[in-house]
Structure 1
Amino acid sequence: MAAGLEGGLQQADRIVILDFGSQYAHLIARRIRELNVYSELVPPNASPAKLKSLKPKGLILSGSPASVYKPDAPTCNPEIFKLGIPVLGICYGLHLVAQAFGGKVEPAEKREYGKIELYVDDHSDLFENVESPTICWMSHGDLVSNLPEEFEVLAHTANTPTAAVRHRKLKIYGVQFHPEVAHTLRGLVILRNFAYKICGCKPTWTMKSFVEEAVKSIGRKVPPDERVLCALSGGVDSTTAALLASKALNGRLLCVFVNNGLLRKGEPEKVLETVKSFNLNLVYVDASDRFLSRLKGVADPEEKRRIIGEEFVKVFSEVAEQHGPFQWLLQGTLYPDVIESARTGSPASRIKTHHNVAGLPEWMKFKLLEPLRYLYKDEVRKVARLLGLPEEIAGRHPFPGPGLAARVIGEVTAEKLRICREASYIVEEELKKAGLYGEVWQAFAVVGDDKAVGVLGDERSHGYMVTVRVVESVDGMTANWKKLPYEVLERISVRITNEVKNVTWVNYAISNKPPATIEPC
């Protein structure tokens, strides 16, 4: 896993998070970044020398679904506590701290899950400006039953006497609750106290500074006689990456936009308009017929994905050969992709790379240029806005690599594509009217082969069933279905059945991820 930033940003104050597999690990990093302090995740087995080389102002030990007293539990090198770097252990991280200093961790008699009242016993440093009692978010079945002598208690709950602790001499802290979760009312204050007061970080991590350094970094990395090729999808990631690169490359960037016939309503026109407004070099290929012809009669989701990826590589390779040579491939890889691919051995390592170009032929040996690889999605959107991208692209929802084929169950036919495209447009439009579009992660319509009887005028009809899917999420790894107001759902339903030909029923998907996925295919 790549660690650290290039160029001037390497000097930015940072906090390093040891990731023990917590579902909240990325959330910790995001919260620290909200404080304008750069944060990055590293594997728990990172050596003290490696950690020291990153020059962090502080270390955070994340939570974990494991128990520290079990033989196969993930752990860290206890020597990290001798580096003189402030440490904050969160939940499982607290248990590791206690264990490293001779304390005891065991199953709690009463487990704590959800919102719990926290009583602060010491309002200095970590809990400065935190009232008592306050609400915190607990999610633990173990606790520190025997606190090491070198530590003192900072806060407690009714069932956890060691809800927050501090080393009496060293800047080593631990909390049993999760300050990174929004349900912990003063969680951001606690993290701010740790970052600013205890670690001495300065709030220098901003998207403005990132843009300036990213452009310089690209200029340093790509020699003046080499060229860069970019697969432009029209989404915020690839478009933002292209705009950053274009500022540094002086016409040596060529963007390739392939219309596979599976795009959203009006998307090709919008992408071409945007690219033109920024004077990007672009090759536009309308390969709709090629893709749809190859998808004819194919119903299996994985086979559809394979065909779409394979055909894209063919089209992309043809353009590269025609307009080459190119030495670099520009991709919109984001930080969660980098981290999840490093979590080898876990289900999370099988990440979706919809914005990346996989399976290119052997003769196309590219060096990778990934200017967004240290950013989260919300940070990319901020960069996009700084670069002047219209909100329609900067704030647009993520779109799957296979396009609408991921939302058409069964064979991809012209009629099902039309229904999916038009119905999805209505869903997005109604959410925008209601002021809800920016509150959700994704919103779209799904169509399969199921049909239902309806009544149009005075006649019975037999039309398709459309399922509306709207979800809330932070990073797409997990998601909850959005509880939309009934009046919004009604408007969506009425418009789809009235405006989209051959649709009789509209359903609403109420399954979370997991167990469901966000996209049906």
Structure 2
Amino acid sequence: MTTLSTHDQIAIIDFGSQYTHLLARRIRELGVYTEIYPNTIKAHKISPHTRGIILSGGPNSVHDHTALFYDPKIFNLALPLLGLCYGHQLIGQHFGGKVLPGDTKEYGKAELDQLSPSSIFKNIKRKNIVWMSHGDSVVKLPPNFKAIAQTKDCKIAAMENMKERIFGFQFHPEVRHTNCGTQILFNFVSLIARAKTDWKVDNFVAEIIERIKKIAGAKKVFLLVSGGVDSSVSFALLEKALGKKNVFGIHIDNAFLRFKESAHITKILARAGFDNLHVVDASDQFLKRLAGVSNPEEKRTIIGNTFLDVAEQEAQKLGIDLSNWLIGQGTIYPDTIESGGTKHAHKIKTHHNRVEKINALIAQGKIIEPIADLYKDEVRLIGKRLKLNAGILNRHPFPGPGLAIRVLSWKAPVLPRLTHHEIKSFSQNYLQKTYRFKKDFEISILPIQSVGVQGDQRSYAHPALLQGITDWNMASGLATALCNKFAEINRAALLIHPKKISPELIKFIPGTLTKERLALLKKADYKINQRLKALKLYNAIWQCPIILAPLTLQGGETIILRPVASEEGMTANFYRMNRSALQDITRALIAVQGIDMILYDITNKPPGTIEWE
């Protein structure tokens, strides 16, 4: 984006955090313009209208060979400065402190306890829940700094040098799950940096429209339309900027949509006025290319390439010369950042709209993505401004690869190295110490793996299965503790049906992406979404992936429920469903032939991604 020189601004220096753009958004929500700079930015290149600087988090370590370059003169600009996570550690090391790997890594919620008053903690109570995602910690303060807050596992969770107006936080105030985060950012931006609050969302909409016109020029746009919120808002923005006759949509049924989804999408888009839309059924082509494929990354890559191949084939049939058109996508920011889309961000998973073929077209200037800098909640807000109907805007997010990444495909079990004794002993000690829980419970590790995000890095590890714990708080606490303690665990789930089983009875069955398994998942997914709507829970849940896992008790398969609460998808809490609603959904599911076990994912993001693949 072009710097708006008339605005006061906050400069964010990006060290590869998964949350850098989220941080920029939070500050814009406070009415202050924000510019993101690479870590290599020279101090004299930062806008003279900058009123404060924030150093982002990132996946690297400041104390080893992965440490990133930065211009030390940034610290000589006499501007207020805030470091987050990696940025906090960078401040600590730069000014003479010490940073080392922590004895206990922290992923997810932690309780922050203020040690002394600070201007950055103005109007904030002494104890707060904050969001952590780190392995390293500042273990020794730099000279002239003092610790102003701690958590149980991080003694220097916040520090300050008030004279120089320099602050460091190990936690992430930019995520919604830090309950005092907005106030902390307000204190830094408005009270300490004294930036003017003159930035509005309407400025952003106008800027997107102008950017579309500039990128497209005289070219038309051939837009890939899934029918979800992102592609629909992209459709509306492109039509508003370029005119209806210059935007042509194509909706591709890839076999991995929900039950009767393609027909439903066509109807709601037509009702919304998107009549310049071509629909094609390419189910057989997708299924043929994915036959026997089990690797999640390979699945995503094949799906992304096939989408593009089908679009090109259909364009040729329609007489459209794509050399004179731009291909449009409803890509949003989480797609780019989780695919390693900023210079130092680690790849968490490849999104279908970020395969190499797409990246090559982006480099050639042949792709247009109107909302690539936005998050889901921002996209919905813009959709409301464009007067799109609620039937489109309130739909749950649905991944481009669809159910293909929710049918877990494994040809052989992956056996954990951790012993049952290790995890059971740790869990018993944790539950007794934290909750005084002494009842019988069971814990085991499942012989499959899933994707996670820990400390801004990708993890691929096992889910733990818990039995006999019915309290959501207790289950959540144990899930977080397990993921923090054991590198082999990045997720936990509760056994819902049957109520109790011996772990040895859970058997792995080889399974890939077949029509039969897809049909089973579609039935389960349809049943669950119908019940969520009937129970009036659909709008309370941000997204509810339903996962089919190749685990069996009596010849059937396992369904994993993954409802989450979130606003933008970069962080999420598992949704704490009331027990009567969960029983209702369980009854509906066990009536589906082919399902003999039901689990409920109780993992927050981080450490677990929302999707399992």
**Shorter-normalised TM-score: what interval?**
0.7 to 0.9
How many angstroms apart in 2 are the aligned matches of 1:135 and 1:407? 35
CA shift at 1:421, angstroms? 1.7
Instruction: Return closer, same or farther for 1:40/1:238 CA change in 2, 3 Å cut-off.
Output: farther
Aligned residues: 495
CA shift at 1:162, angstroms? 9.5
SS of the counterpart of 2:141?
Answer: strand
Note the 1:23-422 alignment, pairs <5 A.
25=20, 28-52=23-47, 55-63=49-57, 68-70=62-64, 72-97=66-91, 99-100=93-94, 102-105=95-98, 114-122=110-118, 124=119, 126-131=120-125, 133-135=126-128, 137=130, 141-148=137-144, 155=148, 163-168=158-163, 170-175=164-169, 178-180=172-174, 185-223=179-217, 225-250=218-243, 251-291=245-285, 294=288, 297-301=291-295, 304-305=299-300, 307-321=302-316, 322-325=318-321, 326-339=324-337, 341-344=340-343, 348-349=346-347, 351-355=349-353, 359=357, 367-408=366-407, 409=409, 410-422=511-523
CA shift at 1:142, angstroms? 1.9
Aligned twin of 1:490: 583
1:295–1:411 CA contact under 8 A, matched in 2: no
Higher relative contact order (CA 8 A, sep 6+): 2
1:64–1:92 CA contact under 8 A, matched in 2: yes
How many angstroms apart in 1 are the aligned matches of 2:104 and 2:559? 43
Q: If the length of structure 2 is used for normalisation, what is the TM-score?
A: 0.69
Which AA in structure 2 matches 1:211?
Answer: V
How many angstroms apart in 2 are the aligned matches of 1:479 and 1:518? 8
What's the CA shift string for 1:83-125, capped at 9, x where partnerless?
344322235434533554x543356999896313204435x5x
How many angstroms apart in 1 are the aligned matches of 2:101 and 2:550? 51
Aligned twin of 1:503: 594
How many angstroms apart in 1 are the aligned matches of 2:566 and 2:595? 30
Aligned twin of 2:527: 426
How many angstroms apart in 1 are the aligned matches of 2:602 and 2:361? 44
How many angstroms apart in 1 are the aligned matches of 2:83 and 2:301? 43
Which AA in structure 2 matches 1:145?
Answer: L
SS of the counterpart of 1:208?
Answer: helix
CA shift at 1:387, angstroms? 1.8
Which AA in structure 2 matches 1:207?
Answer: V
Which AA in structure 1 matches 2:601?
Answer: I
2:209–2:240 CA contact under 8 A, matched in 1: yes
Instruction: Return closer, same or farther for 1:253/1:357 CA change in 2, 3 Å cut-off.
Output: farther
SS of the counterpart of 1:318?
Answer: helix
What's the CA shift string for 1:263-322, capped at 9, x where partnerless?
123422332223323433534233245336625853535565555444433321122223
Q: If the length of structure 1 is used for normalisation, what is the TM-score?
A: 0.79
Q: Which runs of 5+ in 2 are unaligned?
A: 410-510
What's the CA shift string for 1:179-221, capped at 9, x where partnerless?
4455655332221021122333344444333223322332344
How many angstroms apart in 2 are the aligned matches of 1:51 and 1:266? 52
Which AA in structure 2 matches 1:328?
Answer: L
How many angstroms apart in 2 are the aligned matches of 1:395 and 1:507? 27
How many angstroms apart in 2 are the aligned matches of 1:182 and 1:268? 34
Which AA in structure 2 matches 1:331?
Answer: Q
CA shift at 1:350, angstroms? 5.9
What's the CA shift string for 1:449-491, capped at 9, x where partnerless?
66665xxxxxxxx755544333456665676654433322221
CA shift at 1:20, angstroms? 3.3
How many angstroms apart in 2 are the aligned matches of 1:296 and 1:162? 46
CA RMSD of aligned residues (A): 4.0
How many angstroms apart in 1 are the aligned matches of 2:68 and 2:77? 20
How many angstroms apart in 2 are the aligned matches of 1:94 and 1:362? 36
Which AA in structure 1 matches 2:391?
Answer: E
How many angstroms apart in 1 are the aligned matches of 2:556 and 2:192? 63
How many angstroms apart in 1 are the aligned matches of 2:358 and 2:85? 44
How many angstroms apart in 1 are the aligned matches of 2:383 and 2:563? 24
Identity percentage of aligned residues: 33
What's the CA shift string for 1:377-423, capped at 9, x where partnerless?
22112112222233333233332332222223444444433332232
CA shift at 1:507, angstroms? 0.9
2:93–2:99 CA contact under 8 A, matched in 1: no
How many angstroms apart in 2 are the aligned matches of 1:142 and 1:363? 42
SS of the counterpart of 2:352?
Answer: coil
How many angstroms apart in 1 are the aligned matches of 2:341 and 2:355? 19
How many angstroms apart in 2 are the aligned matches of 1:448 and 1:160? 40
2:111–2:127 CA contact under 8 A, matched in 1: no
CA shift at 1:351, angstroms? 4.5
How many angstroms apart in 2 are the aligned matches of 1:227 and 1:378? 28
Instruction: Return closer, same or farther for 1:108/1:316 CA change in 2, 3 Å cut-off.
Output: closer
Which AA in structure 2 matches 1:503?
Answer: G
Aligned twin of 2:466: none
Instruction: Return closer, same or farther for 1:258/1:129 CA change in 2, 3 Å cut-off.
Output: same
Q: Does 1:470 find its partner at 2:566?
A: no
1:115–1:184 CA contact under 8 A, matched in 2: no
1:135–1:185 CA contact under 8 A, matched in 2: yes
1:216–1:248 CA contact under 8 A, matched in 2: yes
Q: Which runs of 5+ in 1 are unaligned?
A: 454-461
Which AA in structure 1 matches 2:390?
Answer: E
1:90–1:176 CA contact under 8 A, matched in 2: yes
How many angstroms apart in 1 are the aligned matches of 2:171 and 2:344? 27
Instruction: Return closer, same or farther for 1:327/1:57 CA change in 2, 3 Å cut-off.
Output: farther
Note the 1:3-42 alignment, pairs <5 A.
4-5=1-2, 12-22=7-17, 25=20, 28-42=23-37
1:16–1:60 CA contact under 8 A, matched in 2: yes
What's the CA shift string for 1:430-461, capped at 9, x where partnerless?
334445444545313334666665xxxxxxxx
2:80–2:165 CA contact under 8 A, matched in 1: yes
Instruction: Return closer, same or farther for 1:431/1:40 CA change in 2, 3 Å cut-off.
Output: farther
Q: Structure 1 stretches (4+) deviating beyond 6 angstroms?
A: 108-113, 360-365, 513-516
Larger mean Cα displacement after TM superposition, 287-296 or 210-219: 287-296
SS of the counterpart of 1:385?
Answer: helix
SS of the counterpart of 1:147?
Answer: coil
How many angstroms apart in 2 are the aligned matches of 1:120 and 1:434? 47
Aligned twin of 2:438: none
